[in-house]
Amino acid sequence: MKDILSGNLIIIGGAEDKEGKKEILNRVCNSIDKDKDILLIATIATEYPKEAAIKYKEVFKELKVKNIKVLDISERTDAFEELNVELIKEASLIFFTGGDQLRITSLIGGTSIYDALKEACHRGTFIVGTSAGASVMSDTMIVQGKDEESPRKCTLKMSPGLGLIKDVIIDQHFAQRGRIGRLLTGIAQNPEVLGIGIDENTGIVVNKSGVIEVIGEGAVYFIDGSAITYTNVSELHCDDILSMHNVKLHILTDGNKFDLRKKLPFEEEKFSHEDNTKENI
């Protein structure tokens, strides 16, 4: 896997704590200089942009961010406006709210805003997304699928995403909405990619070298289908249950790390109780 990432990403499974300790959003804000840098709230995914902007502005102000701006793209013509492009260029962190991930790609795909976003990624701008804003990060995204059901081919609808992280499919609200079936279906149809399911109030921090750190109170599920020995996905009728053999699953929690290039979890160091020293492994 080469050139997995365009930049620094923080991907959140939705329903992040906005009233308590706000640990995930605090981690987001600590990624920038809260006194000088601009945090841009992108409300593109939601049909209620004003309400979403007000809500996140309040939270980010509580977390001591001084320079907060809003990018509201409600029509494709807005995505060509130079003033909106300048908002992308001057931001140090761009935060995509939840809503409908297909709204994001349909409104900004192929536009000046999209080009500016890719350039911002390459410059090292932090791109953060929650819920729909999480799913849209990958080059292929799930846009529709039934929750809490066994995996079935006909229940899943996928579409191109923003492509800020490649060779993965990301699903959110994962355990809370019982979405393992639909992510397994996505992997059966695309066994070369890695499935990543992220619980609510949980996120992953992804750096340019392809290292993922899990943050938050839930779990992140990594589904690797590269070694699948059998699947009936190409033979399925709409009502048939998916059959897959030799699928690998990793479940990681807060502080755990994962190497996207190797598709494996790892520990940077371990603690030796015998000599009270840390050893590299």
Which residue type sits at 41? I
pLDDT value of residue 30: 98
pLDDT value of residue 237: 77
pLDDT value of residue 94: 98
Q: What are the tens digits of pLDDT across the range 177-188?
A: 999 999 999 999
Work out the average pLDDT over 51-76: 98
| pLDDT at 274 exceeding the cut of 50 | no
Q: What are the tens digits of pLDDT across the range 67-126?
A: 999 999 999 999 999 999 999 999 999 999 999 999 999 999 999 999 999 999 999 999
| pLDDT at 192 exceeding the cut of 80 | yes
Mean pLDDT, all residues of the chain: 92
pLDDT value of residue 235: 84
Residue 208 confidence class, pLDDT cut points 50, 70, 90 = confident
Sorted by where each begins, the domain ranges of the chain are 8-280
pLDDT value of residue 3: 67
Q: What are the tens digits of pLDDT across the range 216-273?
A: 999 999 999 999 999 998 887 777 899 999 999 999 999 999 999 999 999 865 444 4
Report DSSP letters for the chain, one per residue: --S-BSSEEEEE-S---SSS--HHHHHHHTTS-TTTSEEEEE-TT-S-HHHHHHHHHHHHHHTT--EEEEE---SGGGGG-HHHHHHHHH-SEEEE-SS-HHHHHHHHTTSHHHHHHHHHHHHT-EEEEETHHHHTTBSEEEEE--SSS---GGG-EEEE---SB-SEEEE-STTTTT-HHHHHHHHHH-TTSEEEEE-TTEEEEE-TTSEEEEEESS-EEEEE-TT--EE-TTT--TTPPP-EES-EEEEE-TT-EEETTTTEEE-SEEEETTTTEEEE-
**Model confidence, pTM:** 0.92
What is d(CA 134, CA 96) in angstroms, rounded to the nearest whole number?
8
CATH of 8-280 among 3.40.50.2000, 3.20.20.140, 3.30.450.40, 3.40.50.880: 3.40.50.880
Catalytic residue numbers, as ranges: 131, 149, 173
| Nearest C-alpha neighbor of 91 from the set 54, 43, 42, 53 | 42
Which residue type sits at 183? L
pLDDT value of residue 6: 66
pLDDT value of residue 268: 66
Q: What are the tens digits of pLDDT across the range 123-174?
A: 999 999 999 999 999 999 999 998 988 888 777 999 999 999 999 999 999 9
Q: What are the tens digits of pLDDT across the range 104-115?
A: 999 999 999 999
